Amino acid sequence: MNGKELVSLALEARRRAYTPYSGFQVGAALLASDGIVYTGCNIENAAFTPTVCAERTAFFKAVSEGRRAFAAIAVVGGPGGKEPEEFCAPCGVCRQVMMEFCDPDTFKIYLGKSDRSVREYTLKELLPLGFAGEGVNRA
Ligand code: THU
C-alpha cells in the first residue's frame, strides 16, 4: 500500500463526511502495521463540540478493533461538492492522537489533493517536540 493508494481510499471515505454545518469534507485512510486500512470521515454535530475529525474517526475505529501499531495515514479535505484544491493538514488534536500510537520518526502522513498530487511528511515534521507520556503505546 503506497501513498497514492492510501490517498485514493481517503478520497472515497471523504464522500461519507457528515458536514451540514461547515460543508468542509475530510477523508482519512489509516494503514495499520499488519496491512489493514481503516478509513474515516469527519462527523459534525448541531452542538458543534461533539464533532470529530476524519483522522480520529479512523484511529478510534482501528484501536477499538484491536490495532495499536500503525505505518501511515492519508488525509484529504476541502469544501464539499468538488475535489480538494488545497492540502488539508491534520489539526493539533489529531496530531496528538497520532503521537499516542505512532513513532514520530517513522509514521508517515500523506496529504493529497488527488492521487496524482501527494505530499509526504513524518509525524515528527508535523508535530515537533510532541508530548508522549509514560504510558504511551508504541506497539
Ligand atoms: N476536520 C477534519 O476532519 N480533519 C482535519 O484535519 C481538519 C478539520 C474537520 C472538522 C470539521 O468537521 C471540519 O473539518 C471543519 O473544521
Q: Using CA positions, which residue lies closest to atom 14 of ligand 1?
A: 24
Cell of 50: 461533539
Report the predicted TM-score, pTM, of the whole model to 2 decimal places: 0.97
Predicted pLDDT at 60: 98
**Percentage of residues in the chain having pLDDT higher than 70:** 99
- Average pLDDT rounded to a whole number, residues 7-30: 98
Q: What helix, strand, coil percent values describe the chain, rounded to 5?
A: 25, 30, 45
Ligand 1 pocket (Cβ < 6 Å) reads 19, 22, 24, 26, 42, 44, 51, 53-55, 75, 77, 88, 90-91, 94
Q: Using CA positions, which residue lies closest to atom 1 of ligand 1?
A: 53
Predicted pLDDT at 73: 98
Phi-psi bin for 43: left (phi > 0), alpha (psi -120 to 50), beta? beta
Q: Using CA positions, which residue lies closest to atom 2 of ligand 1?
A: 53
Closest CA to 55 of 21, 2, 92: 92
Whole-number Å distance between alpha carbons of 21 and 116: 30
How far apart are the CA of 43 and the centre of ligand 1, in A?
A: 9
